[in-house]
Structure 1
């Protein structure tokens, strides 16, 4: 029996794409059946886009493991709505357009793939357009401004696509009041209200740093260093750090998110540190960062939007972090547990809809999610398809690394410890 449904308002476009792929493969005899699934086929493939090779392979491995953990649990429990699951991977390598396109098209060509997800794939998220054209339910957790810019003009067109992470606006605006609050509480000195900002030339890092610069300037700060490095591996930060030392700022920020780059920056900064608080974007959340820096990472501050709330005041966070570490023998950063939760959101939608081939119903069911996940209360903004941000939904969380451990220091309702003055800093 032929089971694939062609839905009004776009199903024909998806069927045509399937036919084109079949023809390109020379499967002319099967062209009339392209896009069709057998009723007897009870295994659903879940496509994962991840950097399995390249500088972000640690994130990629964690991403796949999160999905795999959820799939193994579901299969062991007998499946969902009569279906069991298999994970298939698409390597986005260096996140370039070509690499992402190749991975996406390879997974879309598999007729048994009925859901796709990623931590981050292209950084500009252009693949959302491809998912909409292909009518493929898709979840991601990255570069939220780009997601919003694509979806907000026509949300109904993108019923397929939803983001675990909320608006990244708080990444741009909330570091300034956080640091000023530390000073007001007497935990650090801000004698000059000066900041050095270093960034990488990619959509994620650059967007955040540009927003930060505006916020700091509007708040009366002086930017002493403003540097942008080419995206990719950076082995020598010393020329930039030398500029920072010429006029020691109160705060040093680097928004390059690659763990290896951030670790090299910190190690070289600490060769002759200035009396500055150091904030690094995202990278310290990845276990690899602490492995590369060891005790030198103590004192580093970072934040997360859509990160796991690792606090007994939000039990699901520690529960899933422990489950991941027990299974794989390593700690989860943002994406292991995050992708586990995203996979289970798909399972919730499938349980509700019952038919994995009814992609539009699945996509809309995902959009109706309202549940407590490891990152907070997840509910989507129907205008942007981003998770709603706020202390009562998905909060922005600030962490400090202390003796190799990530300590949640803000917001106070979830805090597991207090800020400690970094060992290279002194206070009057």
Structure 2
């Protein structure tokens, strides 16, 4: 709990610095990225609104990542002359991502401030936030990762046509998992001790959706469901769960949770009493920097994935280097750092294409018609749900979708092991074999 408090304080301090930067235009940006030959942006700012959680019980690290990535993009853009010669500016509002009223109030605040577009990391209750944006209608680009929200966009395009999910939905965590297992086995890097999969599932809708989609996908694979065990956030003691994992004895264990600090507690307890030779997969949460910080050496060998991750190709590596230089001294998150960065550059492209940041309809049309290649892959949202096409389920062409990335912690770093076309390294046998 003490570590979370420290992280939250750092978030607030970072946001205060970012607010000063947004208010000051390109002054600080020019100091960080000197471009003396380029005209300083001037005139009425183009304003991007951000919902960034500073005080919520969980999820603050992801939101700080999103803010940092966005800040880096804004600095680059303003240092290079702005957008249409105008400076880019942020309006930042606090949000409790688990509270419907707070999510709705955050969007209303940005609407009242007359922003030209909204950028948001995930909100666990996205629909109230969506509803709060309807009357205003500016482009609202998010990383909510929730099919219930994008299904609503598909069902009511006239109402929600201004809302875009720049990443694929959570259903793919379940749908892709057996594909990953089968491909890893075929590669020869992993030999499962049996074909059973044990799912440990949290109770929020997001995790329940993942569990259901995984169970359906397992029916179409050579792997089979062995058991489902329920957990409830916050998890105070993983001991009973680990005991159940050992009783079931599955060759693969999926921990379908999302909180990094609680994952860190799990891996420490599991390593002291492991299920020998089982592949243990942690859904998403290890993308948050505090996982590696808190878990330390105990994280070695665990596998995790994200449908929205920073690639390790030339473009992704260049971004990682810039980010680490701009925000030194801490573990870099590999999810919303890229999302925040990509959304800012995506909107820059849109505004430069239409030439009219104030024309919301034109800018939404440009988002639908465009294909944006960012550091997290392709955001192609010209479909009924207006969510990014996923690779490898939504498309089998890695250059026509956003790839779900599977990582393994090796030498206290998360390394991409799958899909093989994007891998950084090979899967290694777990230390508890």
Provide TM-score, normalisation by structure 2. 0.83
In structure 1, the residue matched to 2:373 is 372
| Candidates 59, 63, 72, aligned match of 2:62 | 59
Q: Does 1:320 align with 2:319?
A: yes
Q: For 2:77, what is the secondary structure of its paired residue?
A: helix
Asked if the contact 2:100–2:125 (Cα under 8 Å) also holds between the matched residues in 1, the reply is no
Provide TM-score, normalisation by structure 1. 0.84
Q: For 2:290, what is the secondary structure of its paired residue?
A: helix
Larger gyration radius, structure 1 or structure 2: 1
Indicate how the Cα distance of structure 1 residues 76 and 182 shifts in structure 2: closer, same or farther if over 3 A, else same. Answer: closer
353-362 or 280-289: bigger deviation: 353-362
| Pairwise CA RMSD | 2.0
Q: Does 1:355 align with 2:356?
A: yes
Q: Does 1:418 align with 2:426?
A: yes
338-347 or 63-72: bigger deviation: 63-72
| Candidates 64, 84, 87, aligned match of 1:84 | 87
Q: For 2:336, what is the secondary structure of its paired residue?
A: helix
In structure 2, the residue matched to 1:6 is none
State how far apart, in whole Å, the 1-side matches of 2:220 and 2:143 are: 29
In structure 1, the residue matched to 2:147 is 145
Indicate how the Cα distance of structure 1 residues 135 and 185 shifts in structure 2: closer, same or farther if over 3 A, else same. Answer: closer
Q: For 1:270, what is the secondary structure of its paired residue?
A: helix
Superposed CA deviations along residues 291-339 of structure 1, whole A, max 9, x for unmatched, are: 11111111111122131111xxx31111111111110113132101211
In structure 2, the residue matched to 1:397 is 405
Superposed CA deviations along residues 45-78 of structure 1, whole A, max 9, x for unmatched, are: 2211122222211111111111111112222222
Matches within 5 A, 1:117-266: 117-219=119-221, 221-230=223-232, 232-266=233-267
Asked if the contact 1:104–1:127 (Cα under 8 Å) also holds between the matched residues in 2, the reply is yes
In structure 1, the residue matched to 2:106 is 103
In structure 2, the residue matched to 1:280 is 282
Indicate how the Cα distance of structure 1 residues 304 and 94 shifts in structure 2: closer, same or farther if over 3 A, else same. Answer: closer
Shift of 1:176: 1.2
In structure 2, the residue matched to 1:336 is 337
State how far apart, in whole Å, the 2-side matches of 1:328 and 1:49 are: 20
Indicate how the Cα distance of structure 1 residues 247 and 122 shifts in structure 2: closer, same or farther if over 3 A, else same. Answer: closer
Superposed CA deviations along residues 340-375 of structure 1, whole A, max 9, x for unmatched, are: 110111111111222222112122222222232112
State how far apart, in whole Å, the 1-side matches of 2:188 and 2:351 are: 52
State how far apart, in whole Å, the 2-side matches of 1:94 and 1:342 are: 19
State how far apart, in whole Å, the 2-side matches of 1:159 and 1:119 are: 19
Q: For 1:269, what is the secondary structure of its paired residue?
A: helix
Q: Does 1:384 align with 2:385?
A: yes
State how far apart, in whole Å, the 2-side matches of 1:411 and 1:114 are: 37
Shift of 1:167: 4.0
Shift of 1:104: 1.6
Shift of 1:262: 1.3
Asked if the contact 2:338–2:376 (Cα under 8 Å) also holds between the matched residues in 1, the reply is no
State how far apart, in whole Å, the 1-side matches of 2:136 and 2:78 are: 27
369-378 or 253-262: bigger deviation: 369-378
Indicate how the Cα distance of structure 1 residues 247 and 168 shifts in structure 2: closer, same or farther if over 3 A, else same. Answer: closer
Shift of 1:399: 1.3
Asked if the contact 1:282–1:303 (Cα under 8 Å) also holds between the matched residues in 2, the reply is yes
In structure 1, the residue matched to 2:5 is none
Indicate how the Cα distance of structure 1 residues 233 and 41 shifts in structure 2: closer, same or farther if over 3 A, else same. Answer: farther
Indicate how the Cα distance of structure 1 residues 388 and 186 shifts in structure 2: closer, same or farther if over 3 A, else same. Answer: closer
